[in-house]
Amino acid sequence: MFNTSLIKNIKTEKIWGNLRNVNLNLCSDSRKYFEGQLFFAIKGARFDGFNFAEDLISKNCKIIIFEETKESIEKAELYHRENPDLCLISVSDCLIALQELARVRLEQWRKDKLVIGITGSNGKTTHKELLYNILENVFPGKIICTQGNLNNHIGVPLTILSVEDVHEVIIIEMGTNHPGEIPLLCELVNPDSGIITNIGASHLEFFKSEEGVFKEKRSLFDFVKKRNTGFFIANAEDKFLCKLKEYYGLHFFSKNKKSSKNIIYYKLSLNKLTIEWEKSEIILENPYLFGDYNFRNLLACFLLSLFHFKNKKEDLINAANKVGLPANNRSTWIKKNKKEIFLDAYNANPSSMLVALTAYAQKLKREGIDFNQVTIIVGDMNELGELAESAHKELGQVISSLGYINVIFIGQYKDYFIQGLQTKLAYNSLKDLISSPPAEFTQAKYLFIKGSRSLQLESLLDIV
């Protein structure tokens, strides 16, 4: 929420009507508009939010910001004649205006408050949710974070503009699929502290290599280090993150003993984390998380919280012990019709596939589950460019090496996958599988489902 007086601080072309000083929320999606919001009519290559202005006016929208064109000016003059109480504001570029407004609002809000940035190849949203829930448990009503997947050049400004004065900490998830996007977001957010979750094979169609991914993601670290007002947490076991140059605020974590003053050592056993902390130990026991990788995620978020709020140590421990993950198609456990299902239908790339499949195999072995009762369902990993063939072939090889027996693949890369793991259960589309599900799907007691968002693999739950 922000006061409309801030609009006077951004470059506008023309204003029709009276811009009153009121506190309100901002909306950029006409489908989600409700009365009392300011509507920001974002204009893209294939859409223009101002085309929905009439519908919004009928819903009693009082302020609309839009991108100026000859056609939009004519519409604005007509709308204002018909609705004298309506305030319309034209700008030369809606996206730049949105980002400028967010920058002004953040500067107004900031003062001695805390801005945290999170990026990485995998687990950004998981880290965001864990960190938010830990801090919200200790400081109820004082924390705000990126909603859903609004982690790009449009979503981040929208998150900033939803901040209220009562909030003390804002957690910003930063996503990217093209070079230069993380630096842009950092310029906008100017984070005090941060976490890079990991560096893996994601969006290689545009970054070309993991080195390219690292160069992009480390921009967050460079901004935090330059600002020199907060802390940064990184996994020393990551072959790229271990290259970050130490400064007083950087703290690595590792289970492997190394000679470094800024490494915090930990041990992990099932759902128990033992952390070496200031010549003593901190023990976290959380029964709600799955896989070693999620406990490392928890560790990073707990450590960043602890460095900022050492006086709340016991409260933070209690919060970390009971935090879980939301049911949003990410690492979700579901029980349905006597089947136990692991669903991660939000995203997939080679590194996230590897850690999830490995953790799942470890769980099955630990619990003595017969692999014949298990069916693995994996789908396309998108945005890999020329590496798509080798990556999907290697995925098949990884699944084979982990000992899985019943495997289904769905998507356009099935022929590449079959090169790594011979299976007759390879489908071009989800529709093909749903129309005639094999016995390996219908009779399995345990299902592992993971693929890129475009496949919408959560639809498989409808036929379980």
**pLDDT beyond 70 at 241:** yes
Among the listed ranges 59-68, 196-205, 224-233, 243-252, which one has the minimum average pLDDT value?
A: 196-205
* Rounded (to 5) percent helix, strand, coil in the chain: 45, 20, 35
Position 108 confidence tier, pLDDT thresholds 50, 70, 90 = very high
User: What share of the chain in percent tops pLDDT 90?
Assistant: 74
Q: Do 269 and 278 contact (CB within 8 A), yes or no?
A: no
Q: Do 354 and 398 contact (CB within 8 A), yes or no?
A: yes
What is the C-alpha to C-alpha distance for residues 130 and 302, in angstroms, rounded to an integer?
Answer: 9
Kindly state the tokens that stand for 225: 């280090």
What is the per-residue pLDDT across 299-339, written as a single tens digit (0 to 9) for each? 999 999 999 999 999 999 999 999 987 765 567 889 999 99
What is the per-residue pLDDT across 115-136, written as a single tens digit (0 to 9) for each? 999 999 888 999 999 999 999 9
- Tell me the domains of the chain and their CATH numbers: 2-97 (3.40.1390.10), 111-322 (3.40.1190.10), 332-463 (3.90.190.20)
What is the C-alpha to C-alpha distance for residues 411 and 404, in angstroms, rounded to an integer?
Answer: 20
What is the C-alpha to C-alpha distance for residues 331 and 288, in angstroms, rounded to an integer?
Answer: 11
- DSSP lists the bridge partners of residue 273 as 268, 284
**Residue 347, pLDDT score:** 81
**pLDDT beyond 70 at 260:** no
The two beta strands, 339-344 and 374-379, are unpaired
Q: Where does 139-209 have alpha helices with state H?
A: 155-160, 181-189, 204-207
Q: Where does 287-387 have alpha helices with state H?
A: 292-308, 313-322, 350-366
Q: Is 278 left (phi over 0), alpha (psi -120 to 50) or beta?
A: left
Mean pLDDT of 33-43: 90
**pLDDT beyond 60 at 58:** yes
**Residue 328, pLDDT score:** 59
The two beta strands, 232-235 and 143-145, are unpaired
Which stretches does DSSP call E strand in 137-287? 143-145, 169-173, 193-196, 232-235, 250-254, 263-269, 272-277, 280-285
**Residue 306, pLDDT score:** 98
State the pTM of this model: 0.86
What is the per-residue pLDDT across 267-282, written as a single tens digit (0 to 9) for each? 998 889 999 998 899 9
Most distant CA atoms of the chain, gap in Å: 73
Specify the DSSP class assigned to residue 459: G
What is the per-residue pLDDT across 198-235, written as a single tens digit (0 to 9) for each? 998 776 676 678 888 899 999 999 999 999 989 999 99
Q: Which of 330, 333, 362 is nearest to 344 (CA)?
A: 330
What is the C-alpha to C-alpha distance for residues 154 and 40, in angstroms, rounded to an integer?
Answer: 11
